[in-house]
Structure 1
Amino acid sequence: MKQDVVQKDLVQKDLAPQDLGQQSPPQNKDAALRFDPVPHALLPPLSECAMLLDIDGTLLDLAPTPREVWVPPGLEATLTGLKAKTSGALALVSGRSLNDIDLIFAPVRFPAVGGHGAEMRLSGEGELMAVQAPPMDKDLKGRLAAIAKLSPGILLEDKGYSLALHYRLAPHAEQAIYDAVALIRADLPSAPIEVLPGKAVCEIKHAGFTKATGVRELMRHEPFKGRRPVFIGDDVTDETVFAIMPDLGGLAFSVGRHSRGVAGHFEQPRDVRAWLAGLLQRPA
């Protein structure tokens, strides 16, 4: 009886059946979303916006391994449409390298901030713009990479400017991974590195650059300059960008959890995709 009441209440609120833990057909997963989690009216006209979007856990659903993520049908068309309506001021902001981003969205290329702010491209057709971010020391990277041998299921991802240890397939190894990283940092106290805890991942990168520093640099250049940034992210590494949005006159939205200082919140990446698609239907 209680389940019937809950079901009826959710239907009255026009919530999608996925919110009851049920799965809808994959081909209609985004289209089935019928509620507006964040009012479009919060945003200024797209002609005044710069859309800045995290990838994993924000635009794309998380997968067991980084290589298993996939781009749902319709997302590339949505991003291309938003890029046109913002006169090119749409950028992907990710911890992934630009090369990895391009592989995911191939053959389409978008402006992007990659490697947690280590590299940047101002247009999909443009080349890499130099950012002051030195690669990680080779010997240090070798010591950190050896941590992956602690347990089967730990996946090593070398991003050039950083190293990521994914343990989604070995959740029991989380503490051992962070303990091993802490020992290396204690042994090399002057090493200019920073540890980024994420969703089932421990990432180690060179200190001195973040997604926030990358976004600040991006917003100094056309076509982003003078626009109001709208950033959507889901992870701890995105909080640096949330924090600078007021300085840039922008808006931030979180995914999966309520983060401090954001203007709104999405439950899942499918909510973000549906919301972005809806922006294209908004009157100019």
Structure 2
Amino acid sequence: MDGAIELPPPPPLVRLMEKRAHALFLDFDGTLVDIAPTPGGIAVPDRLADRLRALSQRLDGRLALVTGRSLEDLAGHCPIDGIACAGSHGAARRDAEGRPLGAAAQPLPDAVFEALHQGARDLGVVLEAKTHGAALHFRSDPERAAQAHAFAADLAGRHALAVKQGKAVVEITQAGADKGGAVREFLKHPPFVGAVPIFVGDDVTDEDGMAACNDAGGFGVLVGDRSPTVARYRLPNVSSVYEWLSL
């Protein structure tokens, strides 16, 4: 892990659940599905939604997906009916019944989307437009990373927006929209109230969710070898996440 302290695997989930009520907050890409060259190229395991709903029932509903994808995009890959979710890095939140939680998320201004479309064309990177944000992907051309980051930082600075960095991607979101905010909002509402929160994720943007869980007496589980991290435990890959969750 680039010289970082080696993290142990998390205790068995079954054993944790025997002691206290726990809540799970799960990232999607890189955690439940392997990263793909393009956002639409992911391979979703068979019956993933059904398996997640069964896991949620085992946790008495204390499970939420917290993803950088918009909720609409997530639903196109994995039907999310009956599962609490937060999309666009936590900006859009809804409970398992589909009811919104917290303040409504705001979309990016039209001028920002116009600039992003032009910038993506000029840079030769892939633009992923989301309901409440946008992402520039450069996985197919890593040499564009510095230019994409500089463009996003300049654009965000001119419109009082936030920039989030991930694996071969840079994103622009509304200021204050992060996965930690999503975790804190969920913990205000049943059935999450009073539970020990666990955040499982692989990317830099998941650190906010892990930090929120740490603050609430829980912990984070890092998927992969990225460092530094505020996670307490580590799982090596997506398949190990499935094994730990008994999915």
> How many residue pairs align between the two structures?
238
User: Is structure 2 residue 112 aligned with structure 1 residue 143?
Assistant: no
Please say if residues 118 and 214 of structure 1, whose CA atoms lie closer than 8 Å, have aligned partners that are also in contact.
yes
User: Which of 240, 245, 262 does residue 213 from structure 2 map onto?
Assistant: 245
User: Is structure 2 residue 44 aligned with structure 1 residue 71?
Assistant: yes
**Which range moved further: 227-236 or 169-178?**
169-178
Q: Percent identity?
A: 36
Higher Cα Rg: structure 1 or 2?
A: 1
1:197-216 to structure 2, matched below 5 A, reads 197-216=165-184
**CA shift at 1:108, angstroms?**
5.0
TM-score (norm 2): 0.87
C-alpha distance in 1, partners of 2:30/2:40?
14
Please say if residues 126 and 138 of structure 2, whose CA atoms lie closer than 8 Å, have aligned partners that are also in contact.
yes
1:1-284 to structure 2, matched below 5 A, reads 37-40=9-12, 43-45=16-18, 48-73=21-46, 75-106=48-79, 109-123=82-96, 125-129=97-101, 131-152=103-124, 154-185=125-156, 188=158, 191-257=159-225, 258-277=227-246
SS at match of 1:135: coil
C-alpha distance in 2, partners of 1:245/1:266?
17
User: Residue type matched to 2:244 in 1?
Assistant: W
**CA shift at 1:251, angstroms?**
1.9
What CA RMSD, in Å, does the superposition of the two structures yield over aligned residues?
2.2
Segments of structure 1 that go 5 or more residues without pairing to the other structure are 1-35, 279-284
Please say if residues 199 and 210 of structure 2, whose CA atoms lie closer than 8 Å, have aligned partners that are also in contact.
yes
Please say if residues 78 and 277 of structure 1, whose CA atoms lie closer than 8 Å, have aligned partners that are also in contact.
no
SS at match of 1:245: helix
Please say if residues 156 and 164 of structure 1, whose CA atoms lie closer than 8 Å, have aligned partners that are also in contact.
yes
**CA shift at 1:180, angstroms?**
2.2
**CA shift at 1:78, angstroms?**
3.4
C-alpha distance in 1, partners of 2:19/2:206?
22
With over 3 angstroms needed to count, the CA separation of the structure-2 counterparts of 1:208 and 1:265, relative to structure 1, is same
| Structure 1 outlier segments of 4+, above 6 Å | none
Partner of 2:4: none
